[in-house]
Amino acid sequence: MQTLFVELGERRYPIFIGHQLDGSKLLNQYISSQQVMIVSNTTVADLYLDHYLQQFQAMGKTIATCILPDGEKYKDFQHLHLIFDALLEAGFNRDCTVIALGGGVIGDMAGYAAASFQRGVKFVQIPTTLLSQVDSSVGGKTGINHPLGKNMIGAFKQPEAVLADMAVLDTLPDRELSAGLAEVIKYALLGDLEFLTWLELNMAKLLDRDREALAEAVYRCCAHKAHIVAADEMEKGDRALLNLGHTYGHAIESYMGYGTWLHGEAVAAGMVMAASLSAQLGWIDSKDVVRVKEILSQANLPIASPRIPVDEFLAYMAHDKKVLNGQLRLVLLKGLGQAVMSKDFEQSQLIQSIQDNLLAE
Amino acid sequence: MQTLFVELGERRYPIFIGHQLDGSKLLNQYISSQQVMIVSNTTVADLYLDHYLQQFQAMGKTIATCILPDGEKYKDFQHLHLIFDALLEAGFNRDCTVIALGGGVIGDMAGYAAASFQRGVKFVQIPTTLLSQVDSSVGGKTGINHPLGKNMIGAFKQPEAVLADMAVLDTLPDRELSAGLAEVIKYALLGDLEFLTWLELNMAKLLDRDREALAEAVYRCCAHKAHIVAADEMEKGDRALLNLGHTYGHAIESYMGYGTWLHGEAVAAGMVMAASLSAQLGWIDSKDVVRVKEILSQANLPIASPRIPVDEFLAYMAHDKKVLNGQLRLVLLKGLGQAVMSKDFEQSQLIQSIQDNLLAE
């Protein structure tokens, strides 16, 4: 097992990475409250709720649960409210801990509920998808979607601890494993060319769910993200680079309806578009774009977007949080492994980057 | 005009207190964003929206508005969502400012919306009731109600600035003026005996809406609260003393249905109960309890609760945020002008403090 710390001063917290981890031993010192609310979804609860209930019961906690339906389309106000209902019906007070047991949707919702319940209670993450292990469980971004935009409502809420157990990835559907690999590949593209080479060599192992390879990939991604988050918690600067492919990707997700395309799938197509725009600007070579497409294909990810009308695509992109004073900014590549935030592109180039990467009819 | 600063380091902010204040001049340096969303309610908007729209237009801002129905019963998720709808429909991004123009309900909702929209945008308060000028606009507590409890969902969100203009109190209904005076009296009872004497001498002027007297009272209350908030922003300690009368009061408000009794009215009856329990404990004299009742009566406030069954009263109190590990803690008086947080009372004494202060049948 490896332990990483996200260095945020008083709010410093550990990420435990390994397989078949002993949660009650690792988390005990990080859950000081008696009352523990486990938030999960129906799919994950069927597989792992009993296991974790036993672990928390072994810690002597008073436990309540809130099991939500599974899917990004439930990441809304109505379902967030169910968590508050459960907390209040259990009689929980401001000295309680909310535990997210699930993927990114559960982590985002449980985290925002923990940030908001009684103006803030404690929070622990047990991410059960590769995507949430490498991305959403680290860094404290929480929230819900709004019909007019993804993650538009939320809070920065750091957990007390994160438990990333590779054993739970055994039951992850192939499609979700690939979606998680999109974010893994993202870390390589935005800041670590050596890791890209490692991924090209180890992709077969990762797809085969080799626990050691997965733990290594998760560790590298979390270390990268922890470093960025510690320097820029509130995303005033470099943290925004983690959104490589995301502005395009969010447009795809929004247009298709949340959950139709998985987040990682949309980000994969978005990263191809970002690479494509970067190549138009002369910042990377066309062979770099090919390399981006190849590693994504190797991970069984899409490398083109559904045929969304370009004006609608642009309208969805304009809702993105990275729009500043009406000016769209994108994370682009100055080179492979070197992302930058930029608004130095023409509208025509932006349009080209979309049109060139739509699925053939 | 007087200016007070709430000393919170990087988030230090001013409270401007006076009458017929020039908002565009005072607020200009505190609103750096181009996009400004004014949140108000139908009552306040009819009276003051045009006035403030002109002031912000004079600052050259892009302005949108969200006008909610008036009343505590609308301080819920559905109406909070209307603010997000308005922000997204206006195309506002994370570099916008939300301005609360209204009383405590509007301040709490707009503040929580500002805390949550895009995980946090800027916030300015223009409180239009005495209650919100002395209490909710200072200190950053924001939130909404849940059917099972008041203010159960929210965030700590400090504003960029607060503009407290006594001129807007001219149109405040008498009942709301009195409700505001309940919180003014609270500051005297919990920490400033000299201010209690001042209030006993000046209550007639305050009820007559003498602007100088009102500004003096608001200044004293805000100075007191700013001092406490600077020392204990997250309410880990002394800030909780500001809740004198509130645990009882919340039970009254919840039982009666939010908005039936005004918050200040419920707190007034709650302060009598807290004084009554303090007297049972021998911490204050029965003549101190009489003095508490007299100053509240002078301000035209209730000094007894509706006839709520005691077991239901206790059940609502048990939902309060100050319950720690199942143990109810209350703000009580060790002396007039000296509040303490305590759990050193018997259940029978608690019951007595309620029963002794119910309205006669």
Residue B67, domain CATH: 3.40.50.1970
- CA gap A139, A6 in Å, rounded: 8
Domain boundary (A133, A152, A171) is at: A171
Q: Which residues of A are catalytic?
A: 119, 141, 183, 225, 235, 239, 243, 246, 250, 263
- For chain A, give the mean pLDDT: 94
What is the end-to-end Cα distance of chain B in Å, rounded?
48
Contact A156/B120, CB-based, under 8 Å? yes
Given this model, what pLDDT does residue B325 score? 60
Please report residues of B whose CB lies closer than 8 A to that of A116. Answer: 116, 143, 153-155
In a domain, A8, yes or no: yes
Please report the DSSP string for B252-297 in residue order. HHHHH-BTTB-HHHHHHHHHHHHHHHHHHTTSS-HHHHHHHHHHHH
Same domain, A209 and A87: no
Same domain, A304 and A204: yes
In a domain, A291, yes or no: yes
In a domain, B360, yes or no: no
Distance from CA of A186 to the nearest CA of B (A): 23
In a domain, B107, yes or no: yes
CA A236 to chain centre: 19
CATH number (domain holding residue A203): 1.20.1090.10
Q: Is B63 exposed, middle or buried (0-12, 13-18, 19+ CB in 10 A)?
A: middle
Q: Is the pLDDT of residue A68 over 80?
A: yes
Same domain, A16 and A151: yes
- What DSSP state is assigned to residue A301? -
- CA gap A152, B232 in Å, rounded: 30
Distance from CA of B320 to the nearest CA of A (A): 8
Same domain, B59 and B82: yes
Pairing state of beta strands B122-127 and B141-146?
unpaired
Nearest partner of A152 among B299, B129, B81, judged by Cα: B81
Other Cβ atoms within 10 Å of B3 Cβ, number:
12
Contact B85/A143, CB-based, under 8 Å? no
Amino acid at B104: G
Q: How confident is the model at residue A323 (pLDDT cuts 50, 70, 90)?
A: low
Given this model, what pLDDT does residue A326 score? 66
- CA gap B70, B67 in Å, rounded: 9
In a domain, B321, yes or no: yes
Q: Count the domains in chain A.
A: 2
Range of the domain at B96: 2-171
Q: Which residues of B are catalytic?
A: 119, 141, 183, 225, 235, 239, 243, 246, 250, 263
Q: What does the block give as tokens for B293? A: 């009742």
CB proximity list for A326: less than 8 A, separation 6 or greater: none
Same domain, B222 and B348: yes
- CA gap B92, B105 in Å, rounded: 23
- CA B145, B8, B337, B183 torsion: positive or negative? negative
In a domain, B361, yes or no: no
Same domain, B84 and B153: yes
Q: Which residue of B has its CA nearest to A113?
A: B153
Of B95, B116, B141, the CB nearest to A153: B116
Chain A residues with a Cβ under 8 Å from any Cβ in chain B:
34, 77, 81, 84-85, 88-89, 91, 93-95, 115-120, 141-143, 146, 148-149, 152-156, 234, 318-319, 321, 323-325
CA A252 to chain centre: 16
Please report the DSSP string for B19-84 in residue order. SS--HHHHHGGG---SEEEEEEEHHHIIIIIHHHHHHHHHTT-EEEEEEEPSSGGG-SHHHHHHHH
What is the percent of chain A with per-residue pLDDT over 90, rounded to a whole number?
84
Same domain, B119 and B191: no
Q: What is the mean pLDDT of residues A241-260?
A: 90
Contact predicate B144/B108, CB 8 Å? yes
Chain B residues with a Cβ under 8 Å from any Cβ in chain A:
34, 77, 81, 84-85, 88-89, 91, 93-95, 115-120, 141-143, 146, 148-149, 151-156, 234, 318-319, 321, 323-325
What is the percent of chain A with per-residue pLDDT over 70, rounded to a whole number?
98
Of B89, B146, B155, the CB nearest to A115: B155
Same domain, A105 and A118: yes
How many A-B residue pairs are in contact by the CB < 8 A criterion? 86
Contact B324/A119, CB-based, under 8 Å? no
Domain boundary (A171, A205, A240) is at: A171
Distance from CA of B288 to the nearest CA of A (A): 33
* Binding annotation of B: 70-75, 104-108, 128-129, 141, 150, 183, 246, 263
Distance from CA of B237 to the nearest CA of A (A): 14
Same domain, B211 and B245: yes
Of B77, B119, B325, the CB nearest to A143: B119
Of A119, A152, A323, the CB nearest to B154: A119
Same domain, B93 and B209: no
Given this model, what pLDDT does residue B124 score? 97
- CA gap B93, B120 in Å, rounded: 10
Tokens 């890209």 locate to: A196
Other Cβ atoms within 10 Å of A227 Cβ, number:
15
Q: Which residue of A has its CA nearest to B141?
A: A119
User: Is residue A16 helix, strand or coil?
Assistant: strand
User: Is residue A209 helix, strand or coil?
Assistant: coil
Contact predicate A127/A164, CB 8 Å? yes
- CA gap B55, B202 in Å, rounded: 33
Tokens 């072994």 locate to: A58
**Helical H runs in A121-257?**
130-131, 174-191, 193-207, 211-231, 246-256
Distance from CA of A247 to the nearest CA of B (A): 14
Contact B156/A85, CB-based, under 8 Å? no
Contact predicate B190/B244, CB 8 Å? yes
Please give chain B's pLDDT, 361 residues, in tens: 999 999 888 889 999 999 999 988 999 999 999 999 999 999 999 999 999 999 999 999 999 999 999 988 899 999 999 999 999 999 999 999 999 999 999 999 999 999 999 999 999 999 999 999 998 888 899 999 998 888 899 999 999 999 999 999 999 999 999 999 999 999 999 999 999 999 999 999 999 999 999 999 999 999 999 999 888 887 778 888 999 999 999 999 889 986 789 989 999 999 999 999 999 999 999 999 999 999 999 999 999 999 999 999 999 998 766 655 667 999 999 999 999 999 999 999 999 999 999 998 7
Same domain, B267 and B187: yes
Tokens 């607020």 locate to: B27
Domain boundary (B145, B171, B197) is at: B171
| Angle (deg, nearest 10), helices A211-231 and A174-191 | 50
Contact predicate B161/B92, CB 8 Å? no
Same domain, B26 and B157: yes
- CA gap A203, B35 in Å, rounded: 46
- CA gap B113, B108 in Å, rounded: 9
Q: Is the pLDDT of residue A322 over 80?
A: no
List Cα–Cα distances, B192 to A41, A171, B206, B250, in angstroms: 52, 63, 18, 24
In a domain, A360, yes or no: no
In a domain, A361, yes or no: no
Contact A152/B118, CB-based, under 8 Å? yes
Q: CA angle, B211 as apex, B206 and B213 as ends, to 5°?
A: 50
- CA gap A195, A332 in Å, rounded: 18
Contact predicate A189/A196, CB 8 Å? yes
Q: Which residue of B has its CA nearest to A95?
A: B324
Q: What is the pLDDT of residues A70-120, one digit of tens each?
A: 988 899 999 999 999 999 999 999 999 999 999 999 999 999 999 999 999
Given this model, what pLDDT does residue A325 score? 60
Contact predicate B36/B9, CB 8 Å? no
